[in-house]
Amino acid sequence: MDMVSPKGIKGTPERLAHLIAGQVVNLVLESLDFDAILDRININALLQRIDVNELLEQIDVDVIVRQVDLNALLSEIDLNALIEHVEIEALIARSTSNAMGSALDLVRRQGVGLDDFVARFVSRVMRRKPGTLPLGPALLVGESSHSSGTS
């Protein structure tokens, strides 16, 4: 909305018109029940009419970013207070847990790889036919499960 500076108004009629207009606007605003108006507005329907993608396409983010004074912004941020709010311990625990899990997987994979190698070697030495060995206990892998000689 354009604002009209009182300093820009010259002469008594213009000042009078300005005062009257101000009074009228005030009276109109006081008589309006904004809650009732807002109640009548269907926000969902309003939002559905907005094409967000088109809106976003019209926004030139680069221009906005160029206008931001990052140095001024950063100088206003209390980094110490920010760090205090970050759950560093939880972050460290989570990353440590992930690293431990990966290390455990690696160790187990190596173990299984060596298991397979030894099993193949023994099967070859004992001249066992592939698929003749049981895979596991019946309750866990089923009655008819037999290995292919690699596990």
Partner 1 sequence: MTNATWRHPESNQPGRVGQYAGFVSRLLAFALDIAVSLGLFALAVALLTSIVGLLAGHSYDVNRHGLIVEVLFGVWLFIYFAFQWASNGRTLGMALFGVRVVTKDGSEIGRWQAIERTAALPLSLLFLGLGFLMALVQRERRALHDLIAGTCVVYSWDARAARLRWLAHQTPEPSPSRDLSSQ
Q: Is 9 in the site for partner 1 (CB under 8 A)?
A: no
SS3 assignment for the chain: CCCCCHHHCCCHHHHHHHHHHHHHHHHHHHHCCHHHHHHHCCHHHHHHCCCHHHHHHHCCHHHHHHHCCHHHHHHHCCHHHHHHHCCHHHHHHHHHHHHHHHHHHHHHHHHHHHHHHHHHHHHHHCCCCCCCCECCCHHHHCCCCECCCCC
Query: Minimal distance in Å, beta carbon 66 to partner 1?
Result: 22
Q: Is 124 in the site for partner 1 (CB under 8 A)?
A: no
Query: Minimal distance in Å, beta carbon 108 to partner 1?
Result: 5
Residue carrying the six token digits 């209390």: 78
Q: Is 26 in the site for partner 1 (CB under 8 A)?
A: no
Q: Is 135 in the site for partner 1 (CB under 8 A)?
A: yes
Pick the binder of partner 1 from 34, 126, 129, 144 (CB under 8 A).
Answer: 126
Pick the binder of partner 1 from 25, 107, 124, 130 (CB under 8 A).
Answer: 107
How many residues lie near partner 1 (CB under 8 A)? 26
The binding site for partner 1 (CB under 8 A) comprises: 102, 104-105, 107-109, 111-112, 114-116, 118-119, 122, 126, 133-141, 147, 151
